[in-house]
Amino acid sequence: MSTTPLAPAPTAVLLERITDATARRAAVEVELAELASAWAHAHVVAPASPRIWGHDRVAPYGLHVGNTHVDNIEWYALPELRWDAAASFAAAQGMSTAAGEIAAA
């Protein structure tokens, strides 16, 4: 992390630093997504089902029903994770267990 003073600096220099910082942040977010996927794969209870029950290509996941709540949408063919996977996943990121469960869902 840089502690370089922010002012006075030419606008072009500031914009370049903003662009560089944004690129670094995006790279870290991609790495975190890849690590989350690897974590999930390492904590699977049973493999995902290859059969997709009730799948509708026109309106998948129950989204065609106007009153469908997001909690009731089926996530077809996704494997179930071990019950304790979310807690350590969350702790490693400084999140609560509840937040980890939401992130892992």
In a domain, 32, yes or no: yes
The more confidently predicted of residues 94 and 57 is 94
In a domain, 18, yes or no: yes
The total number of structural domains that make up the chain: 1
Rounded to an integer, what distance in angstroms lies between the CA atom of residue 86 and that of residue 66? Answer: 31
Q: What is the DSSP string of the chain?
A: ------SS--HHHHHHHHHHHHHHHHHHHHHHHHHHHHHHHHTBSSPPPS--TT--SSSGGGTTSTT--GGG---TTPPPBPTTHHHHHHHHTT--HHHHHHHH-
28 pLDDT more than 60: yes
Q: Give the model's pLDDT for residue 47.
A: 66
In a domain, 74, yes or no: no
Q: Give the model's pLDDT for residue 48.
A: 61
The more confidently predicted of residues 36 and 71 is 36
Rounded to an integer, what distance in angstroms lies between the CA atom of residue 46 and that of residue 96? Answer: 25
102 pLDDT more than 60: yes
Mean pLDDT of the chain: 75
Give the structural domain span for 20.
10-46
Cis peptide before 8 (omega within 30 of 0): yes
Q: Give the model's pLDDT for residue 64.
A: 55
In a domain, 29, yes or no: yes
pLDDT digits over 72-101, tens only?
555 555 677 888 888 888 888 888 888 877
Please give the model's pTM, rounded to 2 decimal places: 0.59
In a domain, 57, yes or no: no
Tell me the percentage of the chain whose pLDDT exceeds 70.
60
Rounded to an integer, what distance in angstroms lies between the CA atom of residue 53 and that of residue 78? Answer: 12
9 pLDDT more than 80: no
